[in-house]
Amino acid sequence: MSKIISGFSKFSKDEKVDWLLKNYFTNSSEALKVIQQYWNDDEKLQQLHDDFIENTITNFYMPFGVAPNFVINNREYTIPMVLEESSVVAAASLVGKFWSTRGGFKTTVIGTTKIGQIHFMFAGKKEDLKSYFAENKTELFAATASITQNMEKRGGGILDIKLVDKTDKLANYYQLHITFETKDSMGANFINSCLEAIAKKFEKDDIEIVMSILSNYVPECLVRAEVSCKIEELGGENPQKFAEKFYQAVKIAEIEPYRAVTHNKGIMNGIDAVVLATGNDFRAIEAGAHAYASRSGTYTSLSHCTIHNGVFKFWIEIPLALGTVGGLTALHPMAKFSLELLQKPSARVLMQIIAAAGLAQNFAALRALTTKGIQHGHMKMHLQNILNQFDATVEEKEEITAYFDKRTVSHSAVVEKLKSLRKPKVKWVDFLDFDTIKYKLSTLSEDSKPVFGQMNAQQMIEHLSAVTQIANGNWNINVFVSDEKTARRKPFLQTENELQTGFRASFIADEPIKLKFSSIEIAIDDLLYQLQSFLLVFKRDKNRTVVHPFFGELNFEEWKKFQVKHFTHHFKQFDLL
């Protein structure tokens, strides 16, 4: 069946979902359940979300966290962050608090200029094009009057229009390079509308407009965030050594593109999270930031560090074209919530807050890398994700979190610990509870079949009795167990591990022993007698030790531990637990 469809966008939401389920899911009821559980019960709110993009079938949740304790230009902030990666919010929070007692973040907006371009082809004389542009430049401004009037009232608008010759790169290729100030608006729609109006006015028979579009590369829409303190105020066992390693790590990112990409990704962890929370375009921010990192011709670090005269300084300069009005910031309830949480900042202030968040995340990553290693903290935070992946209960989460408090977290270690918790608890047999032993064994008969092994029921009982006689001193086994083997084997007795199926000491014959007694009942009585003797002989001599044929020399407590494991093993053999 073909999955190519026409008119899908005209389907209702339910029809779209129904078509997807029929064509792509084997368990359509389960898939429908997943889709519907993310619908908002508030129909009006759900409709708002449905209208953000096309062909919406459900919502995709992302965690909304907050990072408190930020001090930026002497003002306190709690910063909203939306992302799926563990440890980012926690790291930002810790760094925010760290620098709050060391002067906080100092931020400055260097510029807010944004850029749009009209790309066109012209095959005539360059002098004629220059003259045409100069003669019509005023008219180009005028062509946008109806679009720019409201922006100009807020102090924004078109700053300049320049003719740029790019024919050395591409034959007949020119640009109109236009700069804008959009104040608190990100301004994408405003800029593109202005560009189209200017292009329409500028175009003529020998000027072919290729396209008109804003640029997400905004090197003049720039913000700086910085932290600094005396080196000794960095704390730790050796602040000077830490500062030097930190400085070296930043320098490596400045000269090594492979490192710089990951270095800057860490910065964007902090930046994108706040950009998303405030309803801004994180993809545009990402593109502009990475282009800025490559402006020298080599991809390099967005952050920088110096150590001079005993002062540690760490800063970032990054282009951030943001808005606090219009677009999703005005529509999405959580975007509005975020901006209110940030005390209703202007676009300039939001630039500074977001730059500080990026610098904080970079500081956290570099501090971890140059001290304990990045995985130490990251995996601690990732622990809950691993536990959720395996549907850990509240009790399991509490126990495992406590277990890894001072241990290194790894996926395999967490899974192993979880498996150990979920491993069925062994019902150890109390071999000195004579009444229970007698009752359990008396349920056996000649017809009882073993779950494993070759012994019949009476042979198993007589075997337990025979091994007990070794401890009692009534059966001397001529077996030597070296000290090396004893040292290696005896620790097993202190564990919660069971004797494995198929375990057989060397003194045990391959074939089951011949029966000693005429009935199971007599064999049980003999076993109980041997157990009573076991207690008696060790009571008479508390320092008594007897060599076990596999584990070596054992005292009373060690023999008891062995007997518990041995009885449990054989009770399982006949399903008596």
pLDDT confidence band for 510 (50 / 70 / 90): low
- What is the bridge-based pairing of β-strands 64-72 and 114-122? unpaired
* Helices 257-277 & 239-255 angle (0-180, nearest 10): 100
pLDDT confidence band for 531 (50 / 70 / 90): very high
* Pair 432, 493: CB distance under 8 Å: no
DSSP 350-375: HHHHHHHHHHHHHHHHHHHHHTT-HH
Q: What class has domain 64-107+234-371?
A: alpha beta
Model confidence at 217: pLDDT above 80: yes
pLDDT confidence band for 400 (50 / 70 / 90): confident
State how far the Cα of 334 lies from the Cα of 27, in Å rounded to an integer.
33
Instruction: Give the pLDDT score at 1.
Output: 58
CATH architecture label of 114-215: 2-Layer Sandwich (3.30)
Tell me, rounded to whole angstroms, the distance of Cα 92 from its chain centroid: 14
For residue 506 the two structure tokens come to: 């060397």
Question: Which residue in this structure is represented by tokens 């309830």?
Answer: 333
Model confidence at 374: pLDDT above 70: no
Torsion angle of alpha carbons 441, 445, 447, 453, nearest 10°?
30
Instruction: Give the pLDDT score at 173.
Output: 98
State how far the Cα of 91 lies from the Cα of 448, in Å rounded to an integer.
63
* Pair 192, 279: CB distance under 8 Å: no
Instruction: Give the pLDDT score at 421.
Output: 82
Which H or E run contains 229?
strand 222-230
State how far the Cα of 66 lies from the Cα of 2, in Å rounded to an integer.
46
**Model confidence over 271-329: pLDDT tens digits?**
999 999 999 999 999 999 999 999 999 999 999 999 999 999 999 999 999 999 988 88
pLDDT confidence band for 463 (50 / 70 / 90): very high
Model confidence at 267: pLDDT above 70: yes
**Catalytic residue list:** 85, 265, 281, 378
Model confidence at 377: pLDDT above 60: no
Please tell me the number of Cα atoms within 13 Å of 200 on its side-chain side. 9
Q: What are phi and psi of 214, to 5 degrees?
A: -65, 165
Instruction: Give the pLDDT score at 507.
Output: 58
Which H or E run contains 159?
strand 157-165
Q: Where are the domains of the chain?
A: 8-51, 64-107+234-371, 114-215, 389-421, 434-574
State how far the Cα of 534 lies from the Cα of 555, in Å rounded to an integer.
12
- Residues belonging to the chain: 577
Instruction: Give the pLDDT score at 402.
Output: 85
* Pair 319, 219: CB distance under 8 Å: yes
State how far the Cα of 23 lies from the Cα of 239, in Å rounded to an integer.
61
Query: Residue 107's beta-bridge partner residues?
Result: 225
Question: With the C-alpha atoms ordered 40, 41, 45, 51, is the resulting torsion angle positive or negative?
Answer: positive
Pick the more confident residue, 381 or 391. Answer: 391
DSSP 8-state class, residue 112: -
Question: For residue 396, which of 387, 407, 408 has the smallest C-alpha distance?
Answer: 387
The pTM for the full model equals 0.70
pLDDT confidence band for 135 (50 / 70 / 90): very high
Mean pLDDT of 99-108: 98
State how far the Cα of 382 lies from the Cα of 360, in Å rounded to an integer.
20
Model confidence at 508: pLDDT above 70: no
With b meaning 16 or more CB within 10 Å and e meaning fewer, what string describes 40-61?
eeeeeebeebbeeeeeebbbee
Question: Which residue in this structure is represented by tokens 């830490």?
Answer: 242
Mean pLDDT of 453-462: 92
Average the pLDDT over each of 20-24, 279-283, 343-347, 372-376 and give the range with the smallest value.
372-376
Model confidence at 478: pLDDT above 80: no
Of all residues in the chain, the percent with pLDDT exceeding 70 is 96
pLDDT confidence band for 390 (50 / 70 / 90): confident
For residue 211 the two structure tokens come to: 């396209």
* Pair 259, 346: CB distance under 8 Å: no
Phi-psi region of 139 (alpha: psi -120 to 50; beta: other; left: phi over 0): alpha
Highest mean pLDDT among 13-22, 402-411, 480-489: 13-22
Chain mean pLDDT for the chain: 93
With b meaning 16 or more CB within 10 Å and e meaning fewer, what string describes 63-97?
ebbebebbbbeeeebebbbbbeebbbbbbbbbbbe
Q: What are phi and psi of 8, to 5 degrees?
A: -60, -40
Instruction: Give the pLDDT score at 188.
Output: 92
Pick the more confident residue, 518 or 408. Answer: 518
Instruction: Give the pLDDT score at 302.
Output: 98
State how far the Cα of 197 lies from the Cα of 193, in Å rounded to an integer.
6
State how far the Cα of 52 lies from the Cα of 61, in Å rounded to an integer.
15
State how far the Cα of 59 lies from the Cα of 38, in Å rounded to an integer.
6
Mean pLDDT of 445-454: 92
C-alpha to C-alpha distances, 325 to 136, 182, 322, nearest whole angstrom: 33, 10, 9
C-alpha to C-alpha distances, 346 to 42, 53, 150, 418, nearest whole angstrom: 31, 27, 17, 49
SS3 509: coil
State how far the Cα of 495 lies from the Cα of 497, in Å rounded to an integer.
5
Average the pLDDT over each of 184-188, 480-484, 503-507 and give the range with the smallest value.
503-507
Average the pLDDT over each of 13-17, 344-348, 371-375 and give the range with the smallest value.
371-375
* Pair 441, 524: CB distance under 8 Å: yes
**Model confidence over 162-193: pLDDT tens digits?**
999 999 999 999 999 999 999 999 899 999 99
Mean pLDDT of 362-383: 75
pLDDT confidence band for 381 (50 / 70 / 90): low
Question: Which residue in this structure is represented by tokens 């930020």?
Answer: 70
Model confidence at 440: pLDDT above 90: yes
Which H or E run contains 434?
helix 434-441
CATH number, span 434-574: 1.20.120
Pick the more confident residue, 210 or 329. Answer: 210
Q: What residue type is 568 in one-letter code?
A: T
DSSP 374-398: HHHHHHHHHHHHHHHHTT--HHHHH
Model confidence at 210: pLDDT above 70: yes
Mean pLDDT of 88-114: 97
* Pair 156, 183: CB distance under 8 Å: yes
